[in-house]
Amino acid sequence: MKIAVVRETRPGEHRVALVPDLVGKLTGLGYEVLVESDAGSAADIADDTYRDAGATVTDDVLAQSDVVLSVQPLEPDRIARLSSGTATVSFLPTAQSLELVGALRDAQVTAFAMELVPRISRAQSMDALSSQALVAGYRCAVVAAERLRRFFPLNMTAAGTVPPAQVVVLGAGVAGLQAIATARRLGAVVKAYDVRAAAAEEIRSMGAQAIELELETLEGTGGYAREMTEDRAARQRDLLTPYIAAADALITTAAVPGRTAPMLVTRAMVEQMRPGSVVVDLAAETGGNVEGSVAGEVVTVGGTTVWGAADVPSQMPGPASRLYAQNVVNLVTLMTHDGAFAPDFDDEIVSGCCVTAAGEVRHGPTREQLEGAVS
């Protein structure tokens, strides 16, 4: 059976779905691995490295493949070139990609979405949301340190003592915890807040101070947060204002699945920060946690630099690709039996992340949205 790795085409996407080190895992399972020319070039991986690892590098990978791996979902013209029964494995944000899902269904493609892999312990090694959030969280802390024109760590020198930077992190999921850990390693004093009750202990375990507000916690299903009411959001903003005013750097990573990002910090709150402060808004692409942040741009609010995130894992394409590729290879391994790609739809991981198969939309919420959109 043939498994293909395509070159990503979306602007800003620099990752690749397979790295040379993992080609051997797939050939070991019995696959012939085809890599589209230049697939790894944006991640500094040369075609020859794939060849040396045992892959075939070619310009035409789609028509002849049984499984196609990518980071972003394939575009409609590429879907049209797949044979019926081909499987695709990629990120596929179904709610924002209804037309693509319809095209995959009509082309009889078996499409798997990495963001739908259930977050159960057995699937941890396939959890690409977590692996990419880890990269993003690290990068946010490094950007904050780089943009802030002062030290992160305490410096005690003969010329006097330089106090450490004060960093506040809002949202302590996978990305937020990694941002905390990185800022701590760089020597900053870190305070963090999250609406989930369990987060306070996780924040403390990273060496940061958990900000405790006189507010109810907001647990949703599956360990995620719930959306705030406007009243709670306003109270949270009021209570966080003094912490943010005292911060040299603010990193925001808050998200609620399926919703636009919660607006946690108003322009007025940013204006209270000292001149030269830095804000890094990881949620800028999904609506923004900070009023005025713009995805992919650096803007100034008062005297504060506000960095709006865009394609953050792609800013570290080597490690992001490596981790993503490992997640994908683990999922493909689960779906391979006796050298053949043969997904077992009775397995909750397989059924959980399957979007289309055999001409049907298998993911319930997407099917409802699509049928609603059609009628």
CB of 320 to ligand NAD, least distance (A): 16
Query: Per-residue string for binding with ligand NAD, 38-57, x by CB under 6 A?
Result: --------------------
Our finding on whether 181 is near ligand NAD (CB under 6 A) is no
Our finding on whether 258 is near ligand NAD (CB under 6 A) is no
Instruction: Select the residue interacting with ligand NAD from 8, 47, 66, 127 (CB under 6 A).
Output: 127
C-alpha torsion 80→83→86→91, nearest 10: -10
Catalytic one of 81, 119, 147, 226: 119
Q: Known catalytic residue: 106?
A: no
Count of CB atoms situated within 10 Å of the CB of 188: 27
Using Cβ positions, the residue closest to ligand NAD within the complex turns out to be: 173
Query: Per-residue string for binding with ligand NAD, 129-148, x by CB under 6 A?
Result: xx--x---------------
Residues 53 and 47 sit within 8 Å (Cβ to Cβ): no
Query: Per-residue string for binding with ligand NAD, 188-207, x by CB under 6 A?
Result: -----xxxx--x--------
Q: Give me 364's structure tokens.
A: 């319930």
Selected range binding ligand NAD among 49-57, 80-88, 218-226, 298-306, rule: CB under 6 A: 218-226
Selected range binding ligand NAD among 80-88, 103-111, 124-132, 320-328, rule: CB under 6 A: 124-132
Instruction: Select the residue interacting with ligand NAD from 57, 165, 254, 328 (CB under 6 A).
Output: 254
Q: Known catalytic residue: 60?
A: no
Our finding on whether 170 is near ligand NAD (CB under 6 A) is yes
Q: Known catalytic residue: 232?
A: no
CB of 92 to ligand NAD, least distance (A): 17
Q: Known catalytic residue: 367?
A: no
Our finding on whether 263 is near ligand NAD (CB under 6 A) is no
How many residues of this chain interact with ligand NAD, rule: CB under 6 A? 29
Considering only residues 63 through 122, tell me which ones interact with ligand NAD, judged by CB under 6 A: 119
Q: Known catalytic residue: 324?
A: no
Our finding on whether 174 is near ligand NAD (CB under 6 A) is yes
Our finding on whether 313 is near ligand NAD (CB under 6 A) is no
Binding site for ligand NAD (CB under 6 A): 119, 124, 127, 129-130, 133, 170-176, 193-196, 199, 223-225, 228, 253-257, 262, 264
- Catalytic residue numbers, as ranges: 119, 124, 127, 130, 224
